[in-house]
Structure 1
Amino acid sequence: MELTGRIERISADGLGVLERSNRTVYVPFAYPGDVVSVKKTRRRFGRIIGRDFELLEPSPLRQGARCQHFGTCGGCLWQGLKYKEQLRLKAGLFERITGIEAEIKGSPKIWGFRNVSNFIVTTEGIGLKEYGSPSKVVNLSECPLFSRRTPEYLRALKDFLSETGLRPWNLKGKAGDVHYLQVREGKFTGEVMVNLIAHTKPSEEVAGAFRDYFSFADSLYWSVKTDERDDPRGEPELLDGEPFIRERIGDVTYLIHPNSFFQTNSYALELLLRAVEDSTDGEKVLDLYSGVGTFGVWLAKRGFNVEGIEINPFAVEMARKNAELNGVDAVFKVGQAEETSIGDYDTVVVDPPRRGLKEAGELLVRNGVERLLYVSCNPKAFNLDYENHLRKAYRVEGTILIDMFPHTPHVEAVVELVRKG
């Protein structure tokens, strides 16, 4: 059944919403003001998703996409939107979900800003998944969001596979040798890390070919994947070069490893760090969910007395290395957030996983910390934490949004919470 109409609004996950004949259809890559004719639909998670649509009349919010794969690739939904409109819509979505009106700061760069990309390597192609499909892959030739060097990386991989005869992963049959190619770039250092995620260990001959084809890399890893899950995870082994690459944000240098999480937009990261710094009060700071010390080391560099708590021992080890590298004496410890004894801190910074604080929210309510900075890329999780837990003891003092993810519906928030009198 063909449905024709005007997109009136955008959904919380960035899809155009078409309401017609008592039906609501969610249309990817469509924006408010577009007049579209939806040819096919499918039902997914209780919603009707437009699978194929014709753009009859473009919205004035539109711009031409830079990437030839836009409209099929699931990497970015909003590349067809003018950037100022992306920012306006993101601030509007955040307010719709949380009830908080907030200033938004755009990314200093909106092309080539991503410092990591995970290219899936399959019998269907090498690149990224199609939007909404677990098994279809867009055979990429470029990625303007990641790097101008993407064609070089992909060409090296294809030549390596051709010479060695290693098999790409078969998504349906769950068989093959090579599953992902992960590439990380230090945007401000120029350093490159290449990590191949494979289901087999390399022979000496294969390892030698890998070194040859990726000789441009400063750090070269081979990660063995022992499960069939479709994710870029394995046990990394350094084959050549340095164990870490470096990224420099402002006056702080961070070490990056295949197993460490680092914010994906190096250019907007300084805006995020400064937003946290500007809202931090007092002298003693607890960095809860401290990860590799991204916030803790930055704050310690500015003279704050920082202690970090993180459940992942490897991340704690990385945070300690980052503190040592930058000459600061921040203390990082292994521990669970919900079991942390929160002492005499002036400010607590929390950057929880996407699911939010949950039980740790009650811990913060019970303790008398005056100022809480909640950093999150998931406004729904923040809203649940605030309504279910934090509202009992805290009020929202201020919020700033940082666009860490241009051309997608996502945004990073720093919410300043102050204890009620």
Structure 2
Amino acid sequence: MKPPVTTGDIIELTVTGQSHTGDGVGKYEGFTVFVPLALTGERIRAKITKVKKTYAHGRMLEILEPAPARTEPACPVFERCGGCQLQHVSYEEQLRIKRQQVIDSFQRIGGWEEPVPVLPVIGMQDPWAYRNKAQVPFGLRGGELVAGFYAAGTHTIVDMDTCGIQHPDNDQAVREVKRLAKEWGISPYDEKNHRGVLRHVMVRTGFATGEMMVVLVTNGKRLPHREMLVTELRKALPRMKSLVQNINDRRTNVILGRKNRLLWGEPVIRDRIGSVTYVISPQSFFQVNPVQTRVLYDQVRRYARLTGREIVMDVYCGAGTIGLYLADGAAWVYGVESVAEAVEDARRNAQINGIEHVTFVAGKAEEVMPKWREQGIRPDVIVVDPPRKGCDPVLLDTVVDMHPKRLVYVSCNPATLARDARYLRERGFETREVQPVDMFPHTSHVECVAWMEPVGKTLDGNK
């Protein structure tokens, strides 16, 4: 069947839903059309920009009938910057959209006929200035140095000095580096020609401690005015505890290189979630919203139902953040992570907190966990916190073979959560409840904690 639209057509459309990226979705003569910035319930006029076999993309030209939830974005560059997708929506509606995204994923991808209990999203009291990490690219435009976030779907930098979802200290640090680079002629990176010095500035701020780390990512070892940079940034940023040069001379979209050079201060900063202190290095994984991280981890603890007697396995444990947070309620915590540097961070975090009843191992979980089983280790609770792509089926089979009483799945992608929940359901695990948590207000992303348990037949197949 030939699509009823072609590129350049101008159409009128009623928006009936939101996509997982936050775009408005509607039907034109039965054909699906995605339109950024459009909201459910709106009547709009749009220009078709791309046509595929089963859907099209459009650009909104006019709102004919606005939705009651539409609001004025707080950020002046919202429509150009790719950092946020939902600033034009009331926060209450953002939470409704995100919950619906989770429900839709379980129905369409998970194949649930009876709806999985998906609780209302836990939002923030103040959904602004929540990010503890900024990664800001530097570049040239019209011969002038610019720094900001990329426009959606491009590597075009939207120049800006403040971001409403960043901690103010992060913004200040980026502004100071930008000012000094302009004054002293430190060249920004040109990714087309692989020339220039300053690629990115990364800033990490500890919400509980106030400690700040500034990382200057450079295209090679050369850093002009290095000593002057140290002096001036120390004056301008009194909370800065660590100033690092990260060397990345590869042609790559990966932000950080493998080598760090400490320019001043300590090589790490510290932050706390609840009563647990975590050490953070330039490459450490640490949730970017510490306020909601505590909410998320408390939900993991609630679903784990710890009494102090349980053996807990933390899979994809990273720097041990979840496992250490649960340790005071467990008899022992085992963590496994494929990135060796993250495991070193986890061990160091355990040490500085005086937590001794933990074991962290570097390796693939599907290889490490069977060895633990051979050693007679039987987990009562397994927690998995995979990347966006979700869990490998081999890992899920390994989890099932460990026969835990409870499985807690932490997910940053409802689609892969629903896919993996379906796989686990076919192997005897039922999803009891899902609690979404808004870790990233004003974006289309939503984090989930899912509580799963074996049901029906026992895992060995007996009644």
Same fold (TM over 0.5): yes
Question: Any conservation in 2 of the 1:371–1:419 contact (CA below 8 Å)?
Answer: yes
Matched, 1:162 2:182: yes
Question: Do 1:34 and 1:59's aligned partners in 2 also have CA atoms closer than 8 Å?
Answer: yes
Tell me the residue number matched to 1:218.
Answer: 241
The answer to whether the aligner puts 1:56 opposite 2:76 as a matched pair is no
1:410 Cα deviation after fit = 1.3
The structure that has the greater radius of gyration is 2
Q: Is structure 2 residue 329 aligned with structure 1 residue 312?
A: no
Q: How big is the shift at 1:303?
A: 4.3
- The match for 1:41 is 49
Query: 1:256 and 2:280 equivalent?
Result: yes
Give, in angstroms, the shift of residue 174 of structure 1: 3.5
Give me the TM-score of the superposition, normalised by structure 2.
0.86
Residues 223-242 of structure 1: pairs in structure 2 closer than 5 A: 223-234=246-257, 235-242=259-266
Displacement of 1:43 after TM fit? 5.2
SS at match of 1:361: helix
Cα 1:111/1:299, change in 2 over 3 Å: same
| Cα distance change on mapping 1:410 and 1:66 into 2, 3 Å | same
Aligned to 1:336: 364
Partners of 1:46 and 1:231 in 2: how far apart?
33
Counterpart AA for 2:100: G
- Contact 2:132 2:170 survives alignment (8 Å): no
Q: Secondary structure at the match of 1:327?
A: coil
1:67-86 equivalences in 2 (<5 Å): 67-86=75-94
Q: Which shows bigger deviation, 140-149 or 313-322?
A: 140-149
Task: Indicate how the Cα distance of structure 1 residues 415 and 201 shifts in structure 2: closer, same or farther if over 3 A, else same.
Answer: same
Residues paired across the two proteins, number = 419
The SS at the match of 2:225 is: helix
| Letter aligned with residue 140 of structure 1 | M
Per-residue deviation, residues 249-299 of structure 1 (Å, max 9, x unmatched): 121111111101111111101111111111114511011111011111111
Structure 2 residue aligned with 1:101: 117
Structure 1 segment 19-418 matched on structure 2, within 5 A: 19-39=27-47, 41-42=49-50, 47-99=55-107, 100-103=116-119, 104-124=121-141, 125-133=146-154, 135-203=155-223, 206-215=225-234, 216=237, 217-234=240-257, 235-281=259-305, 282-329=309-356, 330-339=358-367, 340-341=369-370, 342=373, 343-358=377-392, 359-418=394-453
Q: Which residue of 1 aligns with 2:4?
A: none
Question: CA 1:319/1:390 → structure 2, altered by over 3 Å: closer, same or farther?
Answer: farther
Is 2:170–2:204's contact at 8 Å kept on the other side of the alignment?
A: no
> Once superposed, what is the RMSD of the aligned Cα atoms?
2.0
**Residue 16 of structure 2 is aligned to residue 8 of structure 1:** yes
Query: What is residue 6 of structure 2 aligned with on the other side?
Result: none
Deviation (angstroms), 1:243: 1.4
1: CA distance, partners of 2:318 / 2:428 = 26
**Distance of 2:97 and 2:24 partners within structure 1:** 12
Which amino acid letter does the alignment assign opposite residue 107 of structure 1?
A: M
| Unpaired runs of at least 5, structure 2 | 1-8, 108-115, 459-463
- 8 A Cα contact 1:108 1:268, kept in partner: no
Q: What's the offset of the Cα at 1:305?
A: 1.5
* Structure 1 residue 59 displacement after superposition: 1.1
Please give the per-residue CA displacement for 1:157-210, whole angstroms capped at 9, x wherever unaligned: 22221244222122333432211111111112111111111112135x622122
Q: Secondary structure at the match of 1:128?
A: strand
Name structure 1 gaps, 5 residues minimum.
none
Deviates more, 1:367-376 or 1:389-398: 389-398
Inter-partner Cα distance in structure 2 for 1:154 and 1:35: 40
SS of 2:137's equivalent in the other structure is: strand
Runs of 4+ in 1 over 4 A off after TM superposition: 43-47
Residues in 1 aligned to 2:247 and 2:338: alpha-carbon distance in whole angstroms: 24
Sequence identity, in percent? 33
Superposed displacement of residue 22, structure 1: 4.6
Shift of 1:155: 2.5
In the TM superposition, residue 147 of structure 1 has moved relative to its aligned partner by 2.2
Deviates more, 1:277-286 or 1:154-163: 154-163
